[in-house]
Structure 1
Amino acid sequence: MTAMNETADLVAFSVDRSGPVAEVTLLGPSKGNAMGPDFWRELPIVFRALDADPEVRAIVLTGSGRNFSYGLDLPAMMGAWAPLLGPDSLAGPRTAFLKEVRGLQASVTAVAECRTPVIAAVSGWCIGGGVDLIAAADVRLASAEAKFSVREAKVAIVADIGSLQRLAGVIGEGHLRELALTGKDIDAARAERIGLVNDVYPDQEAVLAAARAMAAEIAENPPLVVQGIKEVLSLNTERQVADGLRYVSTWNAAFLPSKDLGEAVQAFMERRKPEFKGE
């Protein structure tokens, strides 16, 4: 079965083909392509299907509309998570939440493990889970107006889907610590300086064209050699990433439930600045 057959009934993504290049587009349906239940369920389906399709030799990953992704769709996900995250939650609910986190991690890891090279073309906002997603890509390109943020600290969460594990080797630990500890936003120019993106292009149309051109260039190379390059480059990092993901999921299952998290969610819903008390 081809990738196109496998991904025929998607809600959060579209998959298009142009010769040996597949283009995966985030569709939402939430505002800013925020990552809700459909996203997390469909992401591994899409990339495992593309990985299994011998006719696909390169993948472009981008977002619909003005923004790549606002990251985790917190209101959509909290409905299922709220019963697991009470301050008095015991082992059962926390174990269930651990399983939830590891499921999200596995979804993004499907991108990193895809044997076909993935080029992320980022425009507009790329926040939280959006950064986790592009960290799993092989190459990242941005338009001039793109903005990036490892924002989880601002919502009382230790980032747990891959940014803390994958980006140290991309941007260096010093830059990663700054971004993760502050939760600050950076523009495309800063992202290029620290190596988060390879190149910056004038606008969304230009960055998408550049990503397609790079994908076509990769697709001209021997596919087994390209796969071999990915395998060799991943050898030194995949165990470290896997161990880090396992550790942070356990950490968050133990320590994520807090009054600060409740305050972060409440402040988000009320569109105000949260007041954290370390409780």
Structure 2
Amino acid sequence: MTDYKSLRVTQQDRIAHIQINRPGKVNAMDSAFWTDIITAFQWVDTTDTIRVVVISGAGDHFSAGIDLSLLAQAAGRMGNDIGRNAEVIRGNILRLQDSFNAVDRCRKPVIAAIHGYCLGGAIDLISACDMRYSTADARFGIKEIDMGMAADVGTLQRLPHLIGDGIMRELAYTGRVFDGCEAERIGLVNRVHDNHQQLMERVMVIASDIASKSPLAIRGTKEMIRYARDHSVEDGLNYIASWNAAMLQSEDLKVAMAAHMTKTTASFAD
């Protein structure tokens, strides 16, 4: 397996566990993180034995967001020409966006398990995940506004599909920090848990349940949900009709039906 600098990546049965692994730096996202996350999700996408992904943070926090030293380095490379500076900055932003696009586009469901800080760029990351669970005392915040900038790696584009537009604007405009209980109330997380151990245990149960399903059916379901987010109802219905014209011929359908009728547990090929 790849030697990651900012992540700890393991496979437990059919679950990939990707941990942000800079606990001494509050799991801040340094330069290595942005390339590591793409590499990790390329591995997930091409490894058929993996059916679901869990993302968490090592130590006491999920992530405090982008490492500020990374921003300082970028500022130090600026020259005197505004146009050329803008081209460099735009390229850097697009490169960072690619990292979380890899999470969003992953063929397998991605679950975020959040404890401690989940700030700034970490909100961009969890917004790209399929589902989010947290501890009650987790701390969330869209903190880019307090650094004099607009969030630019996915929060403002994906979060409105997860929570109401008004509350999203409040959080983005104020940068205020809120806890896991409020995150559950506004729909950012599916459920809160009392502590980190309980959180990880419950998330792994959910991941195992998903991993037991037909991988083709899960793949199709995720693809349709993503497509519907960005297209009309009519477009989505047409797409699922074309998709299932092929997928309903899969052996998985026969296996699932047989298991259902005999009240046994289905076993699907990777």
User: Is the counterpart of residue 56 in structure 1 residue 50 in structure 2?
Assistant: yes
Residue equivalent to 1:275: none
Residue equivalent to 1:253: none
Per-residue CA deviations over 1:41-84 (Å, capped at 9, x if unaligned) read 11111011101110000111000001000001011332133333
User: Is the counterpart of residue 171 in structure 1 residue 163 in structure 2?
Assistant: yes
Per-residue CA deviations over 1:4-32 (Å, capped at 9, x if unaligned) read x3xx2101001111110111100126611
TM-score by length of 2: 0.83
- Measured in 2, the distance between the counterparts of 1:138 and 1:234 equals 9
| Structure 2: stretches of 5+ with no match in the other structure | 233-270
User: Is the counterpart of residue 182 in structure 1 residue 174 in structure 2?
Assistant: yes
Task: Please give the residue correspondences for 1:218-229 in structure 2 after superposition, counting only pairs within 5 Å.
Answer: 218-229=210-221
User: Is the counterpart of residue 76 in structure 1 residue 70 in structure 2?
Assistant: yes
User: Is the counterpart of residue 115 in structure 1 residue 104 in structure 2?
Assistant: no
User: Is the counterpart of residue 236 in structure 1 residue 236 in structure 2?
Assistant: no
Query: 5, 8, 28: which is aligned to 1:11?
Result: 5
- Measured in 2, the distance between the counterparts of 1:151 and 1:239 equals 30
Q: In angstroms, what is the RMSD of aligned CA positions? A: 1.5
User: Is the counterpart of residue 42 in structure 1 residue 36 in structure 2?
Assistant: yes
Which amino acid counterpart does residue 205 of structure 1 have in structure 2? Q
- Measured in 2, the distance between the counterparts of 1:40 and 1:64 equals 17
- Measured in 1, the distance between the counterparts of 2:76 and 2:231 equals 32
Per-residue CA deviations over 1:68-115 (Å, capped at 9, x if unaligned) read 00001011332133333x7x5411121011000000000011000001
Task: Please give the residue correspondences for 1:125-274 in structure 2 after superposition, counting only pairs within 5 Å.
Answer: 125-238=117-230
Residue equivalent to 2:86: 94
Contact 2:23–2:60 (Cα < 8 Å) also in 1:
no
Secondary structure of 2:17's partner?
A: strand
Per-residue CA deviations over 1:148-190 (Å, capped at 9, x if unaligned) read 0001000001000001000101011111101000000001110
Contact 2:111–2:130 (Cα < 8 Å) also in 1:
yes
Deviation at 1:237, TM superposition (A): 2.7
- Measured in 1, the distance between the counterparts of 2:112 and 2:153 equals 17
- Measured in 1, the distance between the counterparts of 2:231 and 2:154 equals 13
Residue equivalent to 2:263: none
Residue equivalent to 1:65: 59
Contact 1:121–1:142 (Cα < 8 Å) also in 2:
yes
Q: How many residues align?
A: 232
Per-residue CA deviations over 1:238-276 (Å, capped at 9, x if unaligned) read 479xxxxxxxxxxxxxxxxxxxxxxxxxxxxxxxxxxxx
- Measured in 1, the distance between the counterparts of 2:75 and 2:34 equals 14
- Measured in 2, the distance between the counterparts of 1:81 and 1:237 equals 35
Contact 2:23–2:59 (Cα < 8 Å) also in 1:
no
Which amino acid counterpart does residue 77 of structure 1 have in structure 2? L
Residue equivalent to 1:257: none
- Measured in 1, the distance between the counterparts of 2:124 and 2:22 equals 16
- Measured in 1, the distance between the counterparts of 2:198 and 2:209 equals 16
| Structure 1: stretches of 5+ with no match in the other structure | 241-279
TM-score by length of 1: 0.80
Per-residue CA deviations over 1:106-150 (Å, capped at 9, x if unaligned) read 001100000110110000010000010000000000011101000
Contact 1:142–1:201 (Cα < 8 Å) also in 2:
yes
C-alpha change, 1:40 and 1:30, in structure 2 (3 Å) is farther
- Higher RCO structure, 1 or 2 (CA under 8 Å, sep 6+): 1
Which amino acid counterpart does residue 141 of structure 2 have in structure 1? S
Which amino acid counterpart does residue 68 of structure 1 have in structure 2? F
